[in-house]
């Protein structure tokens, strides 16, 4: 993910105060029980975490903005990245690893059945080859769909930061 670097004329403390004024606090579980659109913030020291809350559904695959304020002579710089929540990233790695392992074993079983000419009563060996590929394609499609449902979140968060902190893009690393 590309790093976002935004420069503000305000010091980090003022930036944090301004963000706190235009966002709702991001509290574990409690923040998601409200049925209204909002940008949620968790501000600690010079660290910032922002995310979008949508009414009536929670999208675990929506991006979070993780950033850090740095003091400069002309104010501050906010450096950050949009990425999935760490728990969701870990879950996806483990889930896809297991899915690929199981699907790989199913494909190997199907190839062995095709080469030996054998067949089981319920399935054909070709299904043993196609089913895992369809499953992985379906899982990847769901991941893409859920990411697509939150495609405006990055823009909404970026716009809020730029408007609230009166920033300009300093560049990207």
| Tokens read off for 138 | 């379906």
Q: Residue 89: which of 158, 161, 147, 172 has the closest Cα?
A: 147
* Confidence band for 16, pLDDT divided at 50, 70 and 90: very high
Q: Residue 32: which of 65, 50, 66, 56 has the closest Cα?
A: 56
Q: What is the pLDDT of residue 121?
A: 52
Question: Which residues fall within 8 angstroms of residue 167, CB to CB, at 6 or more apart?
Answer: 6, 7, 8, 78, 161
* Confidence band for 123, pLDDT divided at 50, 70 and 90: low
Return the residue matching tokens 């990233």.
89
| Tokens read off for 7 | 């420069």
Report the distance separating Cα 47 and Cα 19, nearest Å: 12
Q: What is the pLDDT of residue 172?
A: 46
Question: Which residues fall within 8 angstroms of residue 69, CB to CB, at 6 or more apart?
Answer: 12, 15, 16, 46, 47, 48, 76, 77, 78
* Confidence band for 118, pLDDT divided at 50, 70 and 90: low
Query: Which stretch of 69-73, 110-114, 134-138, 159-163 has the lowest confidence by average pLDDT?
Result: 110-114
Query: Which stretch of 52-61, 95-104, 124-133, 151-160 has the lowest confidence by average pLDDT?
Result: 124-133
| pLDDT per residue as tens digits for the range 61-89 | 899 999 999 999 989 999 999 999 999 99
Helices (H), the chain: 12-22, 86-116, 125-149, 153-165
> Which phi and psi (to 5°) does residue 155 adopt?
-65, -45
* Confidence band for 169, pLDDT divided at 50, 70 and 90: low
Contact 125, 110 (CB under 8 A): yes
This prediction's pTM: 0.79
Rounded average pLDDT over 165-173: 67
Q: What is the pLDDT of residue 54?
A: 84
Looking at the chain, the whole-number percentage of residues with pLDDT higher than 70 is: 87
Contact 65, 47 (CB under 8 A): no
Q: Which helix (H) or strand (E) segment is 24 a member of? A: strand 24-25
């Amino acid at each position: 993910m590309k790093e976002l670097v935004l420069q503000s004329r305000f010091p980090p403390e003022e930036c944090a105060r301004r963000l706190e004024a235009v966002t709702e606090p991001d509290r574990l579980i409690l923040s998601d029980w409200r049925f209204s659109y909002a940008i949620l913030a968790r501000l600690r020291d010079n660290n910032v975490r922002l995310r979008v809350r949508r009414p009536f559904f929670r999208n675990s695959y929506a991006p979070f903005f993780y950033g850090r304020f740095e003091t400069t002579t002309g104010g501050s710089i906010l450096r950050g990245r949009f990425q999935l929540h760490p728990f969701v990233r870990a879950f996806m790695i483990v889930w896809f690893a297991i899915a690929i392992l199981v699907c790989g074993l199913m494909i190997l079983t199907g190839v062995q059945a095709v080469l030996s000419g054998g067949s089981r009563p319920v399935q054909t060996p070709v299904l043993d080859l196609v089913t895992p590929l369809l499953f992985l394609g379906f899982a990847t499609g769901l991941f893409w769909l859920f990411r697509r449902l939150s495609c405006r979140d990055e823009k909404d968060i970026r716009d809020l930061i730029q408007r609230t902190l009166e920033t300009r893009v300093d560049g990207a690393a």
